[in-house]
Copies of this chain bind each other. A is one copy, B any other.
Amino acid sequence: MPSRDHGDPGDAPSVPPPLSPIANASRPSAAEEARTIAHSTNTGTLATLTDAGDPWASFVTYGLLGGAPVLCVSNLAEHGRNLAHDPRASIAIVAPSSESDPLASGRVTLAGVVEAPSGDELAAAREAHLNAVAAAKYYIDYSDFTLWVLRVQRVRWVGGYGRMESTTGEAYSAASPDPVTPHAATAIAHLNADHADSLTAMAKVLGGYPDTTAATCTGADRYGLDLRVVTDRGIAYTRIGYAAPIDSIDQLRSATVELAHRARQG
């Protein structure tokens, strides 16, 4: 928890620790989280270097080729001139979120160097960009536009307050985006609307907070559920891992039914 290293002047809200072991705290790796965030949208902000070596931030759209962002930018634009001059670049991507606190959002920085693809990779990169950015059909074949593939060498993932980790380009490239998270909103709303008692039981029996008075599901992925837990000691966040990882949204219901059953037995 790097955020606990801050020089706390003493009045920040404190998070109560668990009172019993967490049954299964497994969760996506930083590389998986990063792939999932990159997969969640088609816009980001690129950092490039001007002729003078100054850092230049600019809005871009992108597609993904095996996790590598594919940009389509005009050589007339400042970021296009920058990339042609110096291939070093990074892109910051923020996951869409309904959180009122923007720093609670997941985001990632992918850093490396761009290359202009050729041959089969050029065709695949063009298709990847068009699949993600429909309007690109109007300019992708303009002679002043260039496709660039960002070869990711270094990744910094921030999952909100206190969850952050760096990882390598290799781990990022080898990971896969979460198959459950992008489709989980309806199921999460259903859990919170109709199964509040089960969530509370999960938090008490499996989540390490036997003093839970209310629990809300805030996320679901291939490994388990994120719960926000209310106790008399304050508000905490915990993790309820499934009996086994799942690989599609269709398996979420049976996985959560099993969790609820196990929690009620506890």
State the A residues within 8 Å of B (CB). Answer: 2, 5-9, 12-13, 42-49, 53-59, 61, 74, 76, 78, 88-92, 94, 101-103, 105, 107, 109, 111, 133-135, 138-139, 141-145, 156, 158
Contacts and interface: CB of A to CB of B under 8 A. Distances in A.
B56 A5 contact: no
A151 to B, nearest CB: 13
B101 A135 contact: yes
Given A78-B156, A102-B43, A135-B103, A142 B57 contact: no
A132 to B, nearest CB: 10
B58 A9 contact: no
Contacts of A55: 47-49, 55-56, 88-90
Given A5-B76, A6-B74, A156-B78, A59 B105 contact: yes
Number of copies: 2
Contacts of A92: 45, 57-59
Nearest to A166: B78
Give the 9 A-B CB pairs with smallest separation, nearest first.
A7-B143, A45-B45, A47-B57, A47-B55, A47-B47, A57-B92, A6-B142, A59-B107, A101-B135
Chain B CB within 10 Å, residue with most, of A49, A57, A76, A91: A57
A6 B56 contact: no
